[in-house]
Amino acid sequence: MWIIFDLDDTLIDTTGSLTPFRLEQALKKMIDSGLAVNDFTRARFQLWALNKKALSTEEALRIFFSLGEYDKSFLEVGIKEIYEVELPEKFPLESLPGAGNLLQELKDHTLILVTKGHEAIQYKKLEKAGIEPRLFSKIIVSDLKDKGPHYQKICNEMNIPPSQLVVIGDRIGSDLVPAKKLGAWTVQMKWGRGLCFEGLEDYVDFKISKLEEIKRIIDHLGALNSVGI
Ligand SMILES: [Mg+2]
């Protein structure tokens, strides 16, 4: 099988460990730039609480300012700090439980990583989480929100029949919908942002809450393929 993984909240715990840190950094940067905040701890707590329900870090920041308590002209400073500023030397980030083992155990398959973001930042996250880039036959880091064109290109280049392609990600809209439209199998990782997503269920073939469940799915799909279904 060919297996395409998403990175954030699929192989690494971005929302749980890195995002709260990034939000705190962004808050400090906005304050340094002139944002008036009376109670730093309270503002940080507000951001963290909003982030738990938001579909993206940017959305959490937007809601934070839409509450009307803070001067929203600092929104862009915060967004830039989170998405474009290099990660510092030290930052918190863990892989999801079992990620390293899983990738090793799946090495008889072709593993591909398709992740949204900036190249230097995404590679730094891989390194910090202890996930070796060489485990993947191909790594695509893209600014595009829609991963469909990348999936299509991978299928064309590697001549992959859609029935033998499995895509795993936490976001149904950007990770799984374009995969299903191509005819691939889709697995939703119910982690981080993935916990907030409802709807679009028709595009999800399997849902998992632990990475190790992927092995059983891959075995199952491999068996289907071998009898020509
Ligand atoms: Mg993700």
**Residues whose CB is under 5 A from ligand 1 (ion)?**
6, 8-9, 170
pLDDT in tens, 40-52: 999 999 999 999 8
- Cα-to-centroid distance, 209 and ligand 1 (Å): 14
Q: Considering only CA atoms, which of 117, 181, 185 is closest in space to residue 152?
A: 181
Domains of the chain: 2-13+95-226 (3.40.50.1000), 15-83 (1.10.150.520)
Amino acid 227: pLDDT: 74
pLDDT at 1: 93
CA distances (Å), origin 147, targets 74, 134, 182, 222: 30, 22, 11, 24
Q: Of residues 96 and 198, which shows the higher confidence score?
A: 96
Look at residue 229 and tell me whether its pLDDT is greater than 60. Answer: no
Supply the mean pLDDT for the chain. Answer: 94
Ligand 1 center to 33 CA (angstroms) = 30
Q: Which pTM was predicted?
A: 0.90
* 10 CA from centroid of ligand 1 (Å): 6
> So what's the pLDDT on residue 194?
73
Cα(13) to centroid(ligand 1), Å = 9
